[in-house]
Structure 1
C-alpha cells in the first residue's frame, strides 16, 4: 500500500505561505496556483521554468479557467471574473457574493464539475473558532450563484467529481471533522443527493485537504499535517499512500503532457517549518489523471 516514489521540488515556482489550488493548463504547458495570504497567483512554465506572478487586492483561494483563458475565482468577498495580463496585472470584476453568516469569512476550496459549473465553499478563517458557518455554493454557466447547497461546514475542502460526474466528493479538514463525504450527483441539474461518509481520516494520519480524481475513479487526498498523499478506491478503501517531503500538503492536481504527473501545493507552518514546506512538488504516481473542466459560462473581460 505504501509506495516509494521520486518526488521533485519545483524550486523555480518559489515558496508560498499557503500554496493552494494547482490548476494545469495543457495548452500552455504550465501550472497555476495561488498563495492565499500573499494575495497572489503564480504561473510556472514547466518547459522553461519561467515564473509569472499576479497580485490581487484581496485573497484568492480557488479558481478555474474558461475556454478563452479568463478566470473565475472564489475570493474573500465573493466570486470574481479575472483577466490576467502579460504585464503581470490582474484585473477583477465582482460577479456574485453570498450573504456571509459570520465575520472573517472567505472562499476556500473550489473547482468546476464535469459540466463546467464552478463550485466553491466558504469558511471562517479563524479555525480555532470551529465555526460551522461554512457552506458550499454553485456558480452556474448562466452566472447565477446558488443558495448554500451544503451547509454546516467548518473548513470546506476536497471538492472533486468521479469520471462520470455522478459522484461528488467533499471534505471538511478541520481537526474536529476530518471527514470525506460522497454525494450522489445529478450531472444534468447540478444537484447533490444522498450523502454518505466516504473516508474517515480519524482512522489514518492527517486531515483531508484538497483532492483530485484519477482515470480509475480513485480519490487522491492531501493528508495535511501528515506529509502524505492517500488514494482511496471508489469504494472508500485506502489502496495507496505516498510520503512527501513537506508536512502540510494542501491540494493536488494531475498535469503534464500525458496527465501522469501529480503536482502538489503545500503550506509553510508558522512554526517549525522545514526547508521543504511551502514549495510545489511533482511526482509520477503511476496512474493518469483527468483534464480539469473549464468553466462553461461566458466571463466578462475585466
Structure 2
C-alpha cells in the first residue's frame, strides 16, 4: 500500500474499508475470512463515508462523488484484476490553484459530508486548500474554512458540538477546535487545540473515542497521540511505521484502533504502508453515515 487513508469500520460486514490514494483504490478487508477486495476508481480517492441508504460518498480529485462497489472475486483468487467502482459526480468545487484534490473527510454527527482540498505538491506549501460541506440536500458549500495547506484531522466530539481540524503541513503542524452549530453546520470560535511543534510529528488523520478524547496520527514520528477534550496529551502509542496517516475504531466492540500508514519513497521499515490493529483499552464511536440520497 502506498498511501493508506480514510479507514471506516463497517459493522454489518465485520469489515474494514480504506483507500489507497495514488493507487486510486478503495480496499475492503473482511475479518471473518480475511478476504481482501479492491476496487479501482477513475481518479485519486482520498476519503469515503457510507450513506444511510446504500453506497458510498467520496472525495476524489475533481469533486464529491457517489460510489457503488460491485462485488467481485477477492484479491489472491482467480479474479485478481480489481473491479472498477461505479461513480457519479455530485458536486465540484472551483479549485483555487492547479493540481488540487480532496484530502481528509468524513460525516458530522448530523450526516453532512465534509472534506478539504489541498495542492498535491506539498513542497509548494500553498495555502490554497479549503474545507467544504456537502449537505443532505446535495448542496456543496462555499469554502467554510480557507487558507489550509494540507487539510487533515477532521473529527467531532461525541455530542457533535465541537469540531476538530488539523493542518499537517510541516510549516503548520496545528490542530484546531471549533464550537460547532449542529443545526446550521457552521463552525465558529476557532482556537488552537494542539500545537505539535511541542510534541512529535505532524497531525494527520484522527479518530474520536467514546470518552471524547481525540486520537491523532503523528506522521513522521511513528506515533498515535491521544488528547483529552482539554487539549492535554495523555497517551502515546508507537507503531512500527514512520508515517501513520489515519486511524479508526472498529471490531465487534469498537475497541480496536486500526491505524493506516504511508510507504515513503525511502522506505524506512518493512512495515511502512501496512495497517495496524491496536487494543488501546478504550472504545470508539460508530462512524456517522451520509444522510442524503445518492
Q: Give yes or no for TM over 0.5.
A: yes
Match of 1:274 among 269, 277, 285: 269
1:149 aligns with 2:144: yes
SS of the aligned residue for 1:27 comes to: helix
> Equivalent residue for 2:54?
69
- Structure 1 residue 200, shift from structure 2 partner: 0.1
Q: Structure 1 regions of 5+ residues with no counterpart? A: 1-15
1:137-184 CA-to-partner distances (Å, cap 9, x unmatched) read 000000000000000000000000000000000000000000000000
C-alpha distance in 2 between matches for 1:274 and 1:241: 20
Match of 1:292 among 265, 271, 287: 287
- Give matches, 1:89-104, under 5 Å: 89-104=84-99
Q: 2:184 aligned with 1:199, yes or no?
A: no
| In 1: Cα distance, 2:128 partner to 2:269 partner | 33
Q: Deviations over 1:15-59 (max 9, x none)?
A: x10000000000000000000000001000012100000001110
In 1, the alpha carbon distance for the partners of 2:136 and 2:159 equals 19
Q: Deviations over 1:172-228 (max 9, x none)?
A: 000000000000000111000110000000001100000001011000000000000
Provide the residue aligned with 1:3 in structure 2: none
Q: Which residue of 2 aligns with 1:51?
A: 36
Name the Cα RMSD after superposition: 0.6
Distance 2:268 2:56 in 1: 32
TM-score of the aligned structures, taking structure 2 as reference length = 0.96
Is 2:218 the counterpart of 1:223?
A: yes
- What SS class does the counterpart of residue 46 from structure 2 fall into? strand
Q: What 5-or-longer segments of structure 2 have no aligned partner? A: 73-82
Question: Which runs of 4 or more aligned residues in structure 1 lie more than 6 Å from their structure 2 counterparts after TM superposition?
Answer: none
More relative contact order, 1 or 2 (CA 8 Å, 6+ apart): 1
SS of the residue corresponding to residue 128 of structure 1 reads helix
Displacement of 1:272 in angstroms is: 3.2
- Supply the distance in 1 between the matched residues of 2:110 and 2:259 (Cα, whole angstroms): 25
Instruction: Name the residue aligned to 1:26.
Output: 11
Cα distance in structure 1, aligned partners of 2:156 and 2:267:
35
Residue 177 (str. 1) matches residue 136 (str. 2): no
Q: Aligned residue for 2:107?
A: 112
Q: Which residue of 2 aligns with 1:9?
A: none
TM-score by length of 1: 0.93
